């Protein structure tokens, strides 16, 4: 049987509980979560929790939004941080797909452009900061509507704006929070808040 997002979420919560009880280490958590999010079938999920006291739980239909509303840890937090820079100088740079946003990421566009898409990303920490600097260039950042985003950048003879295209209410307090600051000088930084991807094929471009 094909595994659903809810199936993977349920197993991930079991792993987070095991970490809080000291049954597995952070390294083991990261390794097992990688297996969970790569799983295509329910059968691939079963060995991940086989050695834990809960036994081999049958995945339930608990939805991610429901688990976050109940105050459970967000399973997108954790993992080995990806690159902490993306630079487009007379060219372009793209960060999207299944990558891990580090606590601090700097994006620079000078006579070029960069694109950052967080809809399929994980987050090394609950709190992350993206410093975006666009000089005669453009930076486009897309965030899902199920994380918290705070845009504090400055536009000087340029624009630094947030465009909410989802119409969704604020995310849960337990969700990752991304602060986006920086400067747009004769250029533009646009942050798009869009509907979260529920089932996507991971990819990485740079």
Do 171 and 107 have their domain in common? yes
Query: What are the phi and psi torsion angles at 194 (to 5°)?
Result: -125, 165
Residue 75 lies in a domain: no
Do 91 and 183 have their domain in common? yes
198 band by pLDDT with thresholds 50, 70 and 90: low
Of 69, 100, 124, the domain-final residue: 69
Do 144 and 93 have their domain in common? yes
Residue 36 lies in a domain: yes
Do 90 and 187 have their domain in common? yes
Give me the domain span that covers residue 167.
85-194
Do 92 and 185 have their domain in common? yes
Do 104 and 159 have their domain in common? yes
Return the ∠ at Cα 200 (arms to 196 and 206), rounded to 5°. 95
Three-state secondary structure call for residue 52:
coil
Place of tokens 């390794």: 31
CA-to-CA separations, 161 to 188, 189, 191, in angstroms, rounded: 8, 6, 6
Residue 201 lies in a domain: no
Number of domains into which the chain is organized: 2
Residues 6+ apart with CB under 8 A from 55: 49
* 21-71 pLDDT, tens digit each: 778 887 787 788 888 888 889 888 889 998 887 544 444 433 444 444 444
Do 132 and 167 have their domain in common? yes
Of 22, 39, 69, the domain-final residue: 69
Residue 206 lies in a domain: no
* 104-154 pLDDT, tens digit each: 999 999 999 999 999 999 999 999 999 999 999 999 999 999 999 999 999
Q: Taking every pair of C-alpha atoms in the chain, what is the biggest distance, in angstroms?
A: 60
The answer to whether residues 45 and 7 touch, using CB atoms and an 8 Å cutoff, is yes
Q: What is the pLDDT of residue 54?
A: 59
């Amino acid at each position: 049987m094909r595994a659903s997002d809810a199936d993977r979420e349920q197993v991930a919560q079991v792993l987070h509980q095991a970490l809080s009880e000291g049954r597995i280490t952070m390294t083991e958590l990261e390794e097992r979560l990688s297996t969970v999010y790569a799983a295509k079938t329910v059968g691939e999920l079963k060995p991940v929790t086989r050695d834990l006291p809960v036994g081999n739980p049958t995945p339930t239909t608990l939805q991610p939004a429901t688990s976050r509303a109940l105050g459970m840890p967000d399973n997108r937090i954790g993992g080995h941080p990806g690159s902490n820079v993306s630079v487009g100088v007379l060219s372009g740079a793209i960060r999207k797909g299944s990558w891990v946003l580090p606590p601090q990421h700097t994006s620079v566009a000078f006579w070029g452009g960069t694109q950052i898409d967080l809809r399929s990303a994980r987050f090394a920490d609950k709190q992350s900061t993206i410093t975006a600097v666009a000089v005669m260039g453009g930076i486009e950042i897309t965030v899902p509507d199920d994380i918290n985003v705070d845009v504090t950048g400055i536009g000087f003879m340029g624009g630094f704006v947030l465009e909410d295209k989802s119409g969704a209410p604020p995310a849960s307090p337990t969700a990752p929070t991304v602060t986006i600051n920086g400067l747009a000088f004769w250029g533009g930084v646009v942050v798009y808040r869009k509907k979260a991807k529920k089932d996507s094929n991971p990819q990485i471009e740079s």
